[in-house]
Amino acid sequence: MTVLDSTKTEKIFGGDRKPFLVVLFALLGAVAVGLATTIEPLLAIGVLLGIVFLAALIKWPDAATLLVVFYIYTNVGPVIMNFHGVPSYISQGFSVLLTIPLIWYILLRREKVIITPVFHLLLLLLVVYILGTAFSIDLSLAARKLIDYVFEGVLLYFFLTNIIRTPLMLKRVVWVLLISGAIIGGLSLYQQVTGTFENSYGGFAQTSGSSFGTGEENLQGVIEQERLMGSVGEQNRYAQNMLMLVPLGLFQLWIYRSTWLRILAVILTGLILIGGALAFSRGAAVGFVMMILIFVLLRYIKFYQLVLLVVAGALVLAAFPQYAVRLQSLTALSDVAASDGGSASFAQADGAIRGRATDILAALMIFKDHPLVGVGPDMVRYYTQDYSRDIGYRFLTKNPQAHSLFPGVAAESGILGLICFLLILYLPLRDLVRARNRWKVSHPDRSYLATAFFQVLISYIVTGLFLHLSYMRFFYLMIALAVVASSFTEEDTLAETKTTETALTPGI
- pLDDT tens digits, one per residue of 476-489: 999 999 999 999 88
* Pair 188, 298 in one domain: yes
Which tens digit of pLDDT belongs to each residue from 176-190? Answer: 999 999 999 999 999
Which tens digit of pLDDT belongs to each residue from 80-118? Answer: 889 988 888 777 888 888 998 999 899 888 889 999 999
Q: What is the per-residue pLDDT for 242?
A: 94
The larger pLDDT score, comparing residue 128 to residue 10, is at: 128
Q: What is the per-residue pLDDT for 467?
A: 82
Q: What is the per-residue pLDDT for 14?
A: 42
Residues of the chain with pLDDT > 70: what percent? 73
Residues of the chain with pLDDT > 90: what percent? 39
* Pair 101, 203 in one domain: no
Closest by CA to 75, choosing from 474, 467, 456, is 474
Question: Does residue 50 have a pLDDT over 90?
Answer: no
Which tens digit of pLDDT belongs to each residue from 324-382? Answer: 666 666 555 555 444 444 454 445 455 566 667 777 888 889 899 999 999 999 888 88
Mean pLDDT of the residues in the chain: 80
Last residue within a domain, chosen from 57, 82, 111: 111
Per the structure, the complete domain to which residue 183 belongs is given by 176-207+227-319
The rounded distance, in Å, linking the Cα atoms of 160 and 464 is 23
Which tens digit of pLDDT belongs to each residue from 311-326? Answer: 777 777 776 666 766 6
* Pair 194, 283 in one domain: yes
* Pair 106, 186 in one domain: no
Q: In terms of C-beta density within 10 A (0-12 exposed, 13-18 middle, 19 or more buried), how is residue 316 classed?
A: middle
Q: In terms of C-beta density within 10 A (0-12 exposed, 13-18 middle, 19 or more buried), how is residue 42 classed?
A: exposed
The larger pLDDT score, comparing residue 346 to residue 120, is at: 120
- Whole-structure pTM value: 0.83
Which tens digit of pLDDT belongs to each residue from 23-36? Answer: 555 555 555 545 54
Question: Does residue 46 have a pLDDT over 60?
Answer: no
In a 3-state reduction of DSSP, which class is residue 223? strand
Q: Considering the domain boundaries, does residue 243 fall inside one? A: yes
Q: What is the per-residue pLDDT for 498?
A: 47
> Which uninterrupted H or E stretch holds 218?
strand 206-218
Q: What is the per-residue pLDDT for 287?
A: 85
Q: Considering the domain boundaries, does residue 504 fall inside one? A: no
| Count of the separate structural domains present in the chain | 2
* Pair 7, 82 in one domain: yes
Q: Considering the domain boundaries, does residue 75 fall inside one? A: yes
Q: Considering the domain boundaries, does residue 357 fall inside one? A: no
Q: How many CB atoms lie under 10 A from the CB of residue 73?
A: 25
Q: Average pLDDT in the 417-432 region? A: 96
pLDDT-derived band at 6, boundaries 50, 70, 90: very low
pLDDT-derived band at 13, boundaries 50, 70, 90: very low
φ, ψ of residue 468 in degrees (nearest 5): -85, 175
Q: How many CB atoms lie under 10 A from the CB of residue 148?
A: 17
Q: Considering the domain boundaries, does residue 393 fall inside one? A: no
Q: Considering the domain boundaries, does residue 372 fall inside one? A: no
Among the ranges given (163-172, 250-259, 392-401, 485-494), the one the predictor scored with the smallest mean pLDDT? 392-401
> Which uninterrupted H or E stretch holds 250?
helix 235-250
In 413-436, which positions are buried (b, 16+ CB within 10 angstroms) versus exposed (e)? bbebbbbbbebbbebbbebbeebb
Question: Does residue 240 have a pLDDT over 50?
Answer: yes
pLDDT-derived band at 299, boundaries 50, 70, 90: confident
Q: Considering the domain boundaries, does residue 507 fall inside one? A: no
Q: What is the per-residue pLDDT for 499?
A: 42
pLDDT-derived band at 504, boundaries 50, 70, 90: very low
* Pair 194, 302 in one domain: yes
Q: Going by C-beta distance under 8 Å and a sequence separation of 6 or more, which residues neighbour residue 95?
A: 68, 71, 72, 151, 156, 159
